[in-house]
Structures are given as structure tokens and as C-alpha cells.
Amino acid sequence: MSMLAGVTLLASAFLGTGAPAARAADVPAEFGTDWHDPVTAAPPVSVPKGAKSCQVTLAQAQFRDFTPYKGTYTPPQGCGDRWSKVVLRLDGKVKGRQYDRLGYLHVGGVEVLRTSTPEPSPDGIEWHVQKDVTRYSDTFRRAQDVEMLIGNVVDDTYTGVIDVKVTLTFYEGHPRADVPDKVLTLAGGTTLTTPRNSERIVAEVYATGSGGGCEEFWYLTVADPASYSCKADKGPYREVQIKVDGQLAGIATPFPNVWTGGWSDPFLWYVIPGPRAFDVKPIDFDLTPFAGLLDDGRPHQVEVSVAGVPEGQAGWSAPVNVLVRQDAHRAHVTGKLTAAKATEPVNSSVYTPGSGEYRVDTDAGHRLAVSGYVDTSHGRVTTTVSRTLANTSVHRWNDGETTDALDATWTDDQNVTVEAGGVRRATRTLWTYTMNGATTIGTDDRLRTELTLGDRASVHRAGGGWSRLDDTYSGDATYTLGVPRDQRHAVGTSSERYRLYGSGDCYDRSLATEQGVLTEDRSGC
């Protein structure tokens, strides 16, 4: 049996508020029919103190099937049209029995939220997601069509109707947020036409592997001749690529999302979801070196793909928003792409059969560097973007996949250098993702999953300014297979510590649970 057992669709990610921790006497011997509402250790979105605010309902719907909610957005009255902060909040509730589900929210075609849902208790749960969406201010200044979908199936077995309400809160005040001038989408999904005075262009891609098949667990796939339930021609390495007019313009490591049914064990996630599960972060690709090419007023092909996915196989979604900053003092900015160099991708996936245990060692990576300039009203600006990706993993399993284990690390190292007026500014961002876990099935049909996930990032700017993020989740849960829900005798613990440090800033919060009860909620630096 593989880690896909018991899972068809998945989803998850959200934010909660702290609550008093339970006493040891309040923790049951095993999971019951109710548990603590989902909560994460991530910080809430900071908002301006004392600023006037206006709230707009963006969507309100009950999802029972795959019919999208369609509505209309109207900008708020009374808070102007240049805001200091715009905050999205999703409030959800569900009860009964249901899988985790993936969802999206579009405003004027712009994806402002990609999310997933928690799996409910029979008695019902509520959860909340909060997200800073100030960067989409250009979209929010005009009336727009709204579309939202959390695809769901409701029948005699899976009874959970997903009930959600989404609002936007606009904060008036000064200073106004420094936001992109334009937020664009790709016409027909692949064509981009930018304003002719664009001087900075960033594409953000909400890349998720999902759909109930093997690409949900792409990091576990193996190539022939290895015998395993999830196959991929070149093994588990995945890379998100973006091309402009057929030329490679950016590469990135996808985050190894684990939704709330993941690793065959929903009891891991009933209270604390995995990092990013309810608020899927987009990958940013700095396309500024291509601005001189894109500023010619013509439509250009922009294509996103995921390298490593077997040909013809579905399972990935990668919608694109394009954020543009314009030269306010020039109608047409000219420039040129001056260099683009990529190494040959490295992807070694070595299969080692053994007596009772099988193993795949993966060592993969890729590097790309692009450079270009634009001649603006304030002089020539040259931008160089280099990105180096690496992935190492060890995957072990046995006959029947009753033991299935992975130890993996991904790094995504980006350097962006901007030169203007004789001044050189460099920013290095290093993302590191880790996954270490195992699922085992004992002779008593008890399935146990132990898993630790790490989401880490460090940012360093030449001349000063730095930040470090470390979001680590750990869980250990066990239940009996092949019996009705009330006979699973499930037990489980989970914890999360979210630390964010920067120049003069500090946030540190820890959560812990046992059998669905929140036993620790501690903050402090």
C-alpha cells in the first residue's frame, strides 16, 4: 500500500487565532467526534493602527459540486482608491465527512487566492484564512467579475458541504502602499501584452500538483525499472519553468505541498495543517530582463510548464498573474535582453533493489542566469537574475509498500542585481524546503505516519537588511485501517513552530496538539 492510500482529492491551508491550551486531564485517550478548529502558528496580517477601513463581501457560497460561484465585485465607498493595506479573509465551516478540497478565487481573472480545505469532524469545524492582497490594488479599483470554486462531491457517504464567506478590508491611510501599476493576466492563457513603458515585470505562478493522482505526491514518484505504485519517466524531480516567446526566462522549485489528507493520514492535520496548505504562495519570476523585448507593444507568448511530469499526464495547475511597474515620465521604454544562459539540467535518479527493501537516490538541479536593460526617464537600468535549483532525496520502501519513507531537501537560490546610475543593488533569497517521514502498516493493520516538514527562507540585501523564516511542522498519528470511522481508535500528536526574524523584527509562535486537543499555544521571542 502506498502513501496515496485513502486519499483521492486534497487541500489545506489557513490561519487561526490562539486559544488557551488544554490541561493534560482534558486530552482524550483517542480521537472522538469533535476536535479543535484548525489553527496555524503563522502571524496575522499587520494592519495600520487607527486607519479608517471599509469592508466588501467578495464571495459567499456553499460548495456541493464543481459549479463555480459567480458574482460581481464593486470597489468600496469611503476609503478612496489608493490604500495602505488590503486584507482578504476567508471564513469557512464544514461538518460530517469530506475529503480535503482545492479551491481558487479570481477577481477580474486575477487569481487572488489559492487554497485548500481541512477535513471536518462529524460535529463540524470552522476555519479562517487571512492574506495580504495589497499588491492586487490595480484590480480592486474597478468593478470586476468574481469567480470562486472549491470543487466538492456530496453524496450519502461524503456529506460535508463547504460553506465559505470571503471579504476584503481596505485600509485608508498614509503612506499609501507601494504597489504594481498594473496587474495583468494572460490572454487565452498564454499571451501577454504589457504597457510600452513597463520597467519592471514580475510573473507570479500559483503552481500546485493535485487532483488525486500521483502528481499530488510527485516527490515520491520513481522511474522504471523500480517497482512502485507511482511512476514518472525521470523520477521525482520537478521544476517550474516559464518561457517568453519560447525562450527559457525563469526556473523555480515548487513547494512540496501536503494537504490535509496527505500521507494517508488525516489525523495528522485535523488541527494544524502543513505549511502553506490553506494559503498557497505563488512563485515569483522576475522577467525584468525581458522588459525591452516585451515593451514593443505586440503580444508575446508566455508559457508555464512543470519539467518532470510524464508526457500527457495531468495533475498540475499553474495560473499566472503579471505585476507591472511603469515609467510615469515616459510613454515608451526601450531596452534589450543581453544575456541568457542555462546549464544542462542534472537529474540522477538511481534505483537500488535489495532483499526486502528498495531505494531510489535522487540528485538533481539546474541553473539559469538572464540579464537585460531598459532605458528609462531616470537612466539606464540593468537587471540580472540568476537562479540555482537543487534537490536531493532518498526514498525507501518494501514489498507491498507497507513501509514507505522519504528524506528530501530542495533549495532554490535566487540573486537579483539591479544597476542604475552607477549604483548596484543586490538581493539574495534562498528558499529551503525539507520533508522527512515514513508511513508503516503493522501486522495489526495499524497505519502510522511520522512526518516533519520545513519551509525556510532567508533574504539578504547588499548594504543591509535581512530576514529569516523557519516554519516547521511535525506530526505522528496512528489509526486502524479497513474499519468504520468510529472504530479506528486513532491517536496522534502534532506541532508547529513559526519563527520570523528580521532587521529589528521578531515573531515566534509554537503550537502543539494531542488527539485533536490544542495543548500548547506559546508566543515570544
d(CA 418, CA 372): 10
Residue 17: which pLDDT band, with cuts at 50, 70 and 90?
Answer: very low
Whether pLDDT at 62 is above 60:
yes
Kindly tell me the number of DSSP H helices and DSSP E strands found in the chain: 2, 29
Cell numbers at 8, concatenated: 483521492
Instruction: Choose the weakest-confidence range: 9-18, 80-89, 264-273, 513-522.
Output: 9-18
Which residues, other chains included, contact 376 with Cβ-Cβ below 8 Å and sequence gap of 6+? 199, 327, 330, 333
In this prediction, residues 350-368 reach a mean pLDDT of: 95
d(CA 312, CA 345): 21
pLDDT at 20: 55
Q: Which long-range contacts (C-beta less than 8 Å, at least 24 apart) are formed by 391-394?
A: 391/236, 391/237, 391/253, 391/362, 391/363, 391/364, 391/365, 392/362, 392/363, 392/364, 393/219, 393/236, 393/360, 393/361, 393/362, 394/359, 394/360, 394/361, 394/362
In this prediction, residues 470-486 reach a mean pLDDT of: 96
Of residues 504 and 147, more confidently modeled? 147
In this prediction, residues 268-277 reach a mean pLDDT of: 98
Surface-to-core class of residue 443, CB atoms within 10 Å of its CB (0-12 exposed, 13-18 middle, 19+ buried): exposed
pLDDT at 211: 62
Q: What is the largest CA-CA distance in the chain?
A: 73
CB 161 within 8 A of CB 48: no
Whether pLDDT at 476 is above 70:
yes
Residues 485-523 pLDDT 10s: 889 999 999 999 999 999 878 999 999 999 999 999 999
Q: Choose among 362, 382, 379, 360: nearest CA to 371.
A: 382
Q: Choose among 177, 176, 202, 182: nearest CA to 139.
A: 182
Cell numbers at 112, concatenated: 487572488
d(CA 5, CA 243): 36
The answer to whether the predicted template modeling score (pTM) of the entire model surpasses 0.75 is: yes
Domain spans, the chain: 24-523
In this prediction, residues 200-206 reach a mean pLDDT of: 98
